[in-house]
Amino acid sequence: MAQEHQHDKPVASQAATTPPAREVTGEEVVYAEVGGKPVRGFLAKPKAAQGPLPGVIVIQEWWGLNDNIRQMAKRLAGEGYAALAVDLYGGQVASDPGQAQKLMQATMQNRAAGEENLRQAYAWLETKQKAPKIGVIGWCFGGGWSLATALMLPDKVDATVIYYGHLETDKAKLAPLAMPVLAFFGGKDKSMPVATVREFENAMKELGKPVEVHVYDDADHAFANPSGGNYNEAAARDSWERTRAFLARHLKS
């Protein structure tokens, strides 16, 4: 992942300002307490929403909970969800690859805290927002955590979306998953080779799990990030439309 981002910076392009499909509200919320410290995230919801909404846990890239992730939460809210963008970096946000790598490594070295963070995010959407169904989505570093959240809560999460994140290929570990999974990868992504992606896909299919995997041959790692150097408009647009349809099918029905 560090190699894929070595010349990258989270500088927003025009695509990063794509507005939500409808007017939304956004606010900082405390959704968890980990290690005795409050954890703050960003909650976005449709402005005119009445009653409980399906929830989506939105997991940051390796840059942290920055404006790009807040905007993605708003876009998800515009589709009719209570979108909670979580923070796995304790309020810190990286502006260069070196800083991002240090923050990511620190989080992975205390994985138990990250897992507790995400468990409480699910519980907060379930109890505080009364979400009838809850999905999870993440990009890059967050893509791996999206699958990890599904594996932690295999009979609770209702839909999982993975954008070019670390994959589990052990069928014994994947066996408990009870939700549909949608995953996107770039054919040029060296951090997650296509061979590994296909191994994951085949393992899920052999287990009889509902899985949908898309590999964009001309796209690289972080192709859907409009505030990064690898942004691929065609792949980003197609994957977003597929994500919209997938979440609506499994969280709104």
Please write the tens of the pLDDT for every residue from 75-134: 999 999 999 999 999 999 998 889 999 999 999 999 999 999 999 999 999 999 999 999
- 1 pLDDT band, cuts 50/70/90, is low
The yes-or-no verdict on residue 6 having pLDDT over 70 is no
Sign of CA dihedral 46, 50, 53, 57: positive
**Whole-angstrom distance, CA of residue 108 vs CA of residue 245:** 32
| Cα–Cα distance for residue pair 24/19, rounded to 1 Å | 10
Q: Mapping DSSP to helix (H, G, I), strand (E, B) and coil, where does residue 27 land?
A: strand
pLDDT at 18: 86
Residues 6+ apart with CB under 8 A from 178: 154, 155
CA dihedral 205, 169, 190, 95 (to 10 degrees): 110
Choose among 11, 15, 24, 9: nearest CA to 224.
Answer: 15
Q: How do residues 49-66 score in pLDDT, each as one tens digit?
A: 889 999 999 999 999 999
pLDDT in tens, 151-204: 999 999 999 999 999 999 999 999 999 999 999 999 999 999 999 999 999 999
Q: Which residues pair with 185 in a beta bridge?
A: 215
The per-residue pLDDT for 12 is 59
Domains of the chain: 14-252 (3.40.50.1820)
